[in-house]
Structure 1
């Protein structure tokens, strides 16, 4: 992993955190590429300067929406590229669109992009985004049950237990999550199980993959490797090496 990219990230607090999990700003010091971790969520990216590609598809100004993340994605950028983005929580984007929330209105997104062209940094970007979240623009609770189910899965609650905690039937929840996110609750469970394994590899660099597999709910080590590679596009061993390289070079690792 190289130090091609400088990344700043802010995790929102308060009411805005119900909709947004992260607001970020990036600047490329050199031409390069990074892998973005899979989280089952959606987002919007604002290319400010330079060239930017996501999975080899060019992202053009003023902005580009990211559909539900179901696997790791490759981000390619030119030297001195500047770009930033909003990362929504799972299930939130359809609700924002349904309620005509100003943060997803074309006029709002174009206004944000125009301001960023004039002056771009994380602080200014955060202020711009927050200005569209006021008391008059609260989300309704249409997706509260599917959101609660996914929250349980994020906290690594077994899927069957998460279903039992919800007031709706399993079939209703499956339909809601599929409609809102494009993937099933089962797929979310796979995503967050891999996420747990990533965290275990990061926190316990010497722990065996066989032990990590058992602790994180995989059948065995081959199951861990298969799922990790399917969702992260990298093996657990390669991920561990990337972590060590990033630590040695004191650089940021986006695939985290």
Structure 2
């Protein structure tokens, strides 16, 4: 039996957290899935068995921060699955953690290794709490408290840049730095600190997510037209990026599962 739910954050946290998702799978059979880059940092709490990464050949930590990724990961279950996942806004995680978000790039860092005592205590509370709604309440209480110490000096700049990336497939880094009134070097440094990847890497992920969303809403579109609408140079460029981020071509992807963009479907 499998249950999957999405819960949206309270209004005070909505600018920083997109949603929480909860997954429970009660089965003795092994399940597998491919995790693809989404463009958002996650905080994952395993209350059941941990997932095994076939890519890195190791178990995921019990509770960890999953940084922005430019790689797909093959995961398999090792028992009953019971997960709570906090999905941050692309620029939101920086409000709650003292470290630059680039420290988590292409990595899964255990809560125990971050040096945040209050987050470690939260992870222990979640581990011992079998009620999902009260667990979400604990998470919200923790992050609302963290907000009081957040210095948002550059926050609006990054929000402006992300909105431009979302709305303009062909936007370039020079335009992003200009609209935030920063030099290219300053913009890249601040963007990477907040988002967890350099602007070029982030725009690649969002271009891929845009392609998924268009395939989701218009599955009959040609690959040539899809490449044009998403800002790829040409069809071979689209196919190459698709294979990098998902492990297969667009045609193979659609043959295996219905395309779905976690990024654009929940904007």
Q: In the alignment, does 2:82 pair up with 1:70?
A: no
Alignment of 1:76-87 (within 5 A): 76-87=76-87
Can you list the C-alpha shifts for 1:19-75, whole angstroms capped at 9, x where unaligned?
2122111112442111223123222211111232244321233x1221222233333
Q: In the alignment, does 2:19 pair up with 1:22?
A: yes
- Secondary structure in 2 aligned to 1:163? helix
Q: Supply the distance in 2 between the matched residues of 1:143 and 1:234 (Cα, whole angstroms).
A: 37
Q: Supply the distance in 2 between the matched residues of 1:140 and 1:205 (Cα, whole angstroms).
A: 43
Q: CA deviation at 1:185?
A: 0.6
Q: CA deviation at 1:253?
A: 9.8
Match of 2:247 in 1: 233
Q: Supply the distance in 2 between the matched residues of 1:117 and 1:179 (Cα, whole angstroms).
A: 30
Match of 1:148 in 2: 160
Q: Supply the distance in 2 between the matched residues of 1:8 and 1:87 (Cα, whole angstroms).
A: 13
Q: CA deviation at 1:7?
A: 2.5
Q: CA deviation at 1:105?
A: 7.5
Aligned equivalent of 2:200, options 186, 210, 222: 186
Q: Supply the distance in 2 between the matched residues of 1:116 and 1:207 (Cα, whole angstroms).
A: 44
Aligned equivalent of 1:8, options 5, 14, 25: 5
TM-score (norm 1): 0.80
Match of 1:113 in 2: 123
Match of 2:36 in 1: 37
| Alpha carbons of structure 1 residues 11 and 241: separation in structure 2 relative to 1, 3 Å | farther
| Kept in 2: contact 1:202–1:243 (CA 8 A) | no
Match of 2:92 in 1: 92
| Kept in 1: contact 2:209–2:262 (CA 8 A) | no
Can you list the C-alpha shifts for 1:212-252, whole angstroms capped at 9, x where unaligned?
111211121111111111123232112212334x9xxxxx9
TM-score (norm 2): 0.77
Q: Which runs of 5+ in 1 are unaligned?
A: 247-251
Match of 2:104 in 1: none
Q: Supply the distance in 1 between the matched residues of 2:234 and 2:256 (Cα, whole angstroms).
A: 23
- Secondary structure in 2 aligned to 1:191? helix
Match of 1:249 in 2: none
- Secondary structure in 1 aligned to 2:202? helix
Aligned equivalent of 1:196, options 180, 199, 210: 210
Can you list the C-alpha shifts for 1:157-208, whole angstroms capped at 9, x where unaligned?
5124333321212221012123344421111111111111001111112221
| Kept in 2: contact 1:23–1:86 (CA 8 A) | yes
| Alpha carbons of structure 1 residues 218 and 60: separation in structure 2 relative to 1, 3 Å | closer
| Kept in 1: contact 2:45–2:127 (CA 8 A) | no
Q: CA deviation at 1:5?
A: 5.1
